[in-house]
Structure 1
Amino acid sequence: MITTPRRDMRPSCTGAPGYEETYDRQPEAVPTARHLVAQALDTWALPQLTEDAVLVVAELVTNAVKHATGARVTVAVERPAARTIRIVVTDASPTFPKLRHASPDDEGGRGLVLVGCMAHAWRAERYGRGKRVWAEMGLR
């Protein structure tokens, strides 16, 4: 079941709680996760980050949908500093994403390159039996 962001959530200006939702690991999770990120950035008055942030979360969730295991994927949007956000995608697969070098004819394989271009930093880390992949971006 895909959930939509709760309207009653009121993230703090910085730090926890941020926004977090868990979705079925299905393609429909991607647009719902983009909405979650856009809603958080609107609440935090950071519209300058929206275009890049929704692309980053779409790439990370798409990777989880295509390559992870388990029934669910969790997406969190945190604000560790006034001008910085962190997007976190958690899934049950212990396999880390691999940065590929796609050829011009490949239809895919560029997602993590895009994430690396838009984020100040990104990383995959063990989380329980699975992993979480996060990307930080912010205003300079």
Structure 2
Amino acid sequence: MRLTVGDHSAGHLRRILRHYLDAWSLPDLAPAAELALTELLANVVRHVPDRLCALWFRRHGEGVRVEVTDGSPELPQVRAAGPLDEGGRGLRLVEAVTDRWGVEPCGFGEQAYWGLGEEGKPGKTVWFECVREGGAGTVSGTGTLRVVDAWQ
């Protein structure tokens, strides 16, 4: 289900993520995963006009994959922030605290399913993976959880 995120949404969604990491016996991944989730949600708030997104948490083995899908066709870019810049460090933080991250354009079917973006303009999914030290390398497969709109 889709979410409309705002300036204070990240705190609620971090708590939900922590709950699932605890339930999946992966609490040691929470600091990195929560920070990366916060940065991806901040990008939705800042750069997606309607602030709509879909959020997925996937658990597999000793890791978690978090996906944030939105309807904006603009792909995020890692950029060098100057020492006095107030922004521009989010993706560098995601890169620093996660094991892998990336961006994938959405297929129109997926985007239509979530009701995101404008018809004829593909959106994107920004994702990251955190894996417990000594765990398997890539997160995929079973244990998928769809986070639904917690405010309805």
TM-score, scaled relative to structure 1: 0.79
Match of 2:132 among 128, 135, 139: 139
Alignment partner of 2:129: what SS? strand
What is the DSSP-based 3-state SS (H/G/I as helix, E as strand, rest coil) of the residue aligned with 2:39? helix
CA RMSD after TM alignment: 1.4
SS of structure 2 residue aligned to 1:32 = helix
Secondary structure (helix, strand or coil) at the match of 1:37 reads: helix
Q: Is the 8 A contact 2:44 2:51 kept in 1?
A: no
Q: Comparing both chains, which one has the higher relative contact order based on Cα–Cα distances under 8 Å and sequence gaps of 6 or more?
A: 2
The correspondence of residues 24-103 of structure 1 with structure 2, limited to 5 A, is: 24-79=4-59, 81-103=60-82
Aligned mates of 1:137, 1:70 — CA distance in 2: 29
Q: How far does residue 27 in structure 1 lie from its aligned partner after superposition?
A: 1.7
Inter-partner Cα distance in structure 2 for 1:83 and 1:32 = 24
- Structure showing greater Rg: 2
Q: Equivalent of 1:107, from 46, 69, 86? A: 86
Q: Aligned to 2:83, what secondary structure does the other structure show?
A: coil
SS at match of 1:75: strand
Distance 1:44 1:91, change over 3 A: same
Matched, 1:121 2:100: yes
What runs of 5+ residues in structure 1 fail to find an aligned partner?
Answer: 1-20
CA apart distance, 1:61:
0.7
**Are the counterparts in 2 of residues 74 and 91 from structure 1 also a CA contact under 8 Å?**
yes
Question: Given that residues 23 and 29 in structure 1 are in contact (C-alpha distance below 8 angstroms), is that contact kept between their aligned partners in structure 2?
Answer: no
Following superposition, the deviation at residue 71 of structure 1 comes to: 4.5
Quote the Cα distance in structure 2 between the aligned partners of 1:105 and 1:28.
25
State the aligned residue count.
119
Higher fraction of strand: 1
Q: Secondary structure of the residue that 2:43 maps to in structure 1?
A: helix
| Structure 1 runs, 4 residues or longer, greater than 4 Å off | none
